[in-house]
Amino acid sequence: MARQQIVHHHSHPERRLIPESTIRSILWQLLNGVSYLHQNWVMHRDLKPANIMVTASGEVKIGDLGLARVFWKPLAALFNGDKVVVTIWYRAPELLLGSRHYTAAIDLWAVGCIFAELLALRPIFKGEEAKMDSKKTVPFQRNQMQKIIEILGTPTKERWPSITQLPEYPQMAPFKPYICSLETWYQQVGATNKLGYELLSGLLEFDPVKRLTAQQALEHRYFTEGPKISLNAFEGSFIEYPHRRVSSDDNDIRTSSLPGTKRSGLPDDSLQPRTKRVKAGE
């Protein structure tokens, strides 16, 4: 099943929190998968609930690598290939501000958003996406940035030194100042584990340089203290979740979630040298 079906199951018809043991297991397995990708120099670039699958035995699988790219010595800037990456609600602030040379930290921001959604049973930053114009110009996602700063506060040069170097930084001027209310949000959704709040804060860090890496997150006390993490996200739970229906579209490696994206394999097939087709008998 997709992880979003677990969230939906707990929010309809009435809201019931996902057991913390299930959240810890799903998040730990997800971070292990992301760590594996990053250790092999692969950025996923579209982590979101719909791309996280959980088997009937509670194993987490990361799917849809259609936007994934190798980021070790790329032949061209990643921005040159895909102007828009990561579905809007899970898009890191450096991407919203037009970063051309982003890092694997964008995946960890998305993981933070997924963690928050497991806790709240709804997206933490549910903004409205501004669409590209006829010239395919990437617009500044003002509403999405607004949703982020309402909870995390307004980023400052002290908090994020390199923010002034980003192309869309001047767009931040009209925003009124906000203070961080993430801890209040955390309490309001019914979460009580202080270590969980620390981990969430580290993943939803504005500055990508300061943001936790996947390996750092795995070593956080949220996982190392308390009950041992189970590789079965449903262990000890008597909740019956619906199974995901499989359709022919699930075998299509293209992504339809993002505008202006193209079919691609891994590594980036647009960067591979062309090979001459050999005719039969040659």
Q: 46, 64, 82, 107: which one is catalytic?
A: 46
Extents of the domains making up the chain: 3-124+184-240
pLDDT tens for the 282 residues of the chain, in order: 555 578 777 876 677 899 999 999 999 999 999 999 999 999 999 999 999 999 999 999 999 999 999 998 765 555 555 557 788 999 999 999 999 889 999 999 999 999 999 999 999 999 999 887 766 677 899 999 999 999 999 999 999 999 999 999 999 999 999 999 999 999 999 999 999 999 999 999 999 999 999 999 999 999 999 999 999 999 988 787 777 666 655 444 344 444 444 333 333 333 344 444 444 444
Angle at Cα 97 formed by Cα 96 and Cα 103, nearest 5°?
80
Task: State yes or no: is 252 an active-site residue.
Answer: no
pTM for this predicted structure: 0.82
Fold assignment, 3-124+184-240: Transferase(Phosphotransferase); domain 1 (1.10.510)
**Residue from 258, 217, 6 nearest 118 by CA:** 6
Cα–Cα distance, 71 to 78 (Å, whole number): 8
pLDDT of residue 243: 73
Query: What are the φ/ψ torsions at residue 141 (nearest 5 degrees)?
Result: -85, 75
